[in-house]
Amino acid sequence: MALTLKSGFSFDYDNLFGEGKVTQADLDSYAEDLKKAHEAMKVMRESGFIKAHLSKDGTPEKVYFSKLPYITEENGKLNLNSPASIQKLHDFTEHLRNNIDVVVSLGIGGSFLGNKVLFDVFAGEFWNTLTPEQRNGLPKVYFSGQNIDSRRTGDILNHIKAIAARTEGNKLKVCLICISKSGGTLDTMSNFMVMYDDLTKQENIEVEVVAVTDPNMEKKTLLKQLAIDKGWPQFAVPDGVGGRFSIFCEVGLVTAAVIGMDIEKFLEGARDMDEACKNENVFENPAMLNAALKFAAYQKYGRNIEVMMPYCDYLKSTSEWYIQLLAESLGKQFDKEGKEVCYGRTPLVAVGTTDMHSQTQQHQEGSLDKVVQFIKVAKWANDLTIPNAFPEYKKLADISGVKMSEALEVARQSNADALQSNKRFNACFTLPELNEYHLGELLYMLAMSVAYEGELSNVDAFNQPGVEAYKRIMGPKLSELRKSKGL
């Protein structure tokens, strides 16, 4: 059984639904809740309203992520995607081309994870080893700010300075993209200040800064005030778009601009998926079906762990992005009425075939508490054939003559069949190709799925009070540390 869209995007749920799995009776028992959840999504799209959702300061807050796939003039009033904002991103690409040598993207949470997804899929591991011509004049890219790690920060600085030392005649041009909605995120701003201070002192390095922060002019963030005072270019972290959904706005799209990705195609995929998710029939709505099956698997069968397992190395960061999406959206102590529920499915990262040799033993025979969610790519852009390099060795000859993608799919299907044979729930998303359009479909469907599950479970999928808890403790502790140092 599979739900397949006109685009070819498919959700195969055969190993998750039916006898001995989530049943039709299970879904029927949620029929009214699903109708209410679907209606809530309609209201969210139209007005941004989500029942009981409050911002971290306790005031009502609209939710606008579902508007991001649509590029309209009206969205410009909300600092969402508009013709002007998309043109600004294209202009940024052209500013970087043949002008900036190195970009360092500094962010944490969604400001790192979403950007890393786009970089990994469309630039790849060896982007920085390509010549400028091979990169079409675009810069090398590094990521920082996702941890307060002195060694790695120092290593990046030393690496950049080593590049500068090899640059003959001209200064090395470095652009620091600092992403922080609050404008004062400890992890990001500490790395930014260390890098800015060090690199601006180097005679052979020229530094530019781009700030991505809350655009509010009435109550300016520290980063925005810095950007105004220093004359740095700015992009917006819009109100109503949490970090885990920000891959579809300027927060993520700024990285898309850095590597020359097709932004419009990415948003088109998300937009077409949103249209599919407007279907009130659960079996024709990918996000509602995904949410309903996994909610039922959790509530009725105790499958409270979801293993996100793409069969593609460069989709590992997509699984890591999904960790934040699921954990922050649904891991909640209280429901919308204030009742303690301690709800939430735990997400885990895995990659096929890599983790078939590490985690699959536990998936196959461990606790019956998991749904394994595969992602596969149907058609690979560069599909290599395994050669018969050593014909005298039969075991090696027996695996030759097939494409690597074919062998990969045999491995994935074998894993799925083995799991199913031992009552282990699993399902598969299929991307026809790994391109901007289909990635946009996948990521948006996952985002909309957690919105549906938030309604089914009656928790606020758009706040993160648990994150704010440690921040309230951390601030005073840092103040105490500075006092102890006489600062």
pLDDT greater than 90 at residue 475: no
Q: Is 471 one of the annotated active-site residues of the chain?
A: yes
Please confirm, yes or no, whether 38 is among the known catalytic residues.
no
Residue ranges of the chain that CATH labels 3.40.50.10490: 2-49+266-467, 81-237
On whether the CB atoms of residues 381 and 365 are closer than 8 A, the answer is no
**Is the model's pLDDT at 451 over the cut of 80?**
yes
Q: What is the pLDDT of residue 252?
A: 98
Q: What letter would DSSP give residue 122?
A: H
Q: How far is it, in rounded angstroms, from Cα 416 to Cα 424?
A: 9
Instruction: Name the 3-class secondary structure at 437.
Output: helix
Interatomic CA distance for residues 415 and 420, integer angstroms:
9
The whole-number pLDDT of residue 465 equals 83
pLDDT cut 70: percent of the chain above it: 100
How far apart CA 408 and CA 412 sit, in angstroms, is 6
CATH of 81-237, one of 3.10.450.50, 3.40.50.10490, 3.40.50.980, 3.30.360.10: 3.40.50.10490
Strand ordering across the sheet containing 425-433:
2-4, 10-12, 425-433, 370-379, 305-310, 346-349
CA dihedral 159, 163, 164, 165 (to 10 degrees): 100
Helix 110-122, helix 436-457: angle, nearest 10: 150
Q: 271 is written with which tokens?
A: 């937009």
Q: Among 42, 56, 90, 471, which one carries the catalytic annotation?
A: 471
Of 339, 357, 477, 485, which one is the catalytic site residue? 357
User: How confident is the model over 367-375, as a mean pLDDT?
Assistant: 98
Strand ranges for 266-334 from DSSP E: 305-310, 332-334
What gap in Å lies between CA 131 and CA 122, rounded to an integer?
16
What secondary structure letter does DSSP report for 17? Answer: B
Instruction: Look up 62 and say whether it is catalytic.
Output: no
Among 131, 156, 167, 136, smallest CA distance to 257 is for: 136
- Give the tens place of pLDDT for each residue, 387-439: 999 999 999 999 999 999 999 999 999 999 999 999 999 999 999 999 999 99
Which residues, in sequence order, are bridge partners of residue 375? 310, 429
- pLDDT above 80: residue 365: yes
CA-only gyration radius of the chain, Å: 23
| Contact (CB, 8 A) for 260 and 138 | yes
Name the burial class of residue 77, with classes exposed (0-12), middle (13-18) and buried (19+) by CB atoms within 10 angstroms of its CB.
exposed
What mean pLDDT comes out for the span 245-252?
A: 98
Residue type, 199: L
Q: Tokens 């600004």 — which residue?
A: 88
Token pair of 238 as six digits: 């819009």
Answer for the pair 28, 20: CB distance below 8 angstroms, yes or no: no
State pTM to two decimals. 0.96
Beta bridge partners of 464: none
Nearest to 449 by CA among 5, 108, 34, 89: 34
Average pLDDT of the residues in 241-246: 96
How far is the C-alpha of 430 from the C-alpha of 432, rounded, in Å? 6
pLDDT at 469: 76
Integer Cα distance of 19 and 66 in angstroms? 35
From 141, 58, 56, select the one nearest 106 (Cα to Cα).
141
Q: Are 206 and 164 in contact (CB under 8 A)?
A: no
**Concatenated DSSP letters of 210-253:** EEEE---SSS--HHHHHHHHHT--EEE--TT--GGGGGGSHHHH
pLDDT in tens, 87-139: 999 999 999 999 999 999 999 999 999 999 999 999 999 999 999 999 999 99
Where does 264-369 show beta strands of DSSP type E? Answer: 305-310, 332-334, 340-343, 346-349
Identity at 127, one-letter amino acid code: W
Annotated catalytic residue: which of 61, 306, 328, 436? 328
pLDDT band at 481 (very low <50, low <70, confident <90, very high): confident
Pick the CATH number of 2-49+266-467 from 3.10.100.10, 3.40.50.10490, 1.25.40.10, 3.10.28.10: 3.40.50.10490
Q: Which residues fall within 8 angstroms of residue 65, CB to CB, at 6 or more apart?
A: 240, 241, 242, 245, 248, 447
- Strands 10-12 and 172-179 turn out to be unpaired
Check residue 58 and give its pLDDT.
Answer: 82
Q: What mean pLDDT is reported for the chain?
A: 96
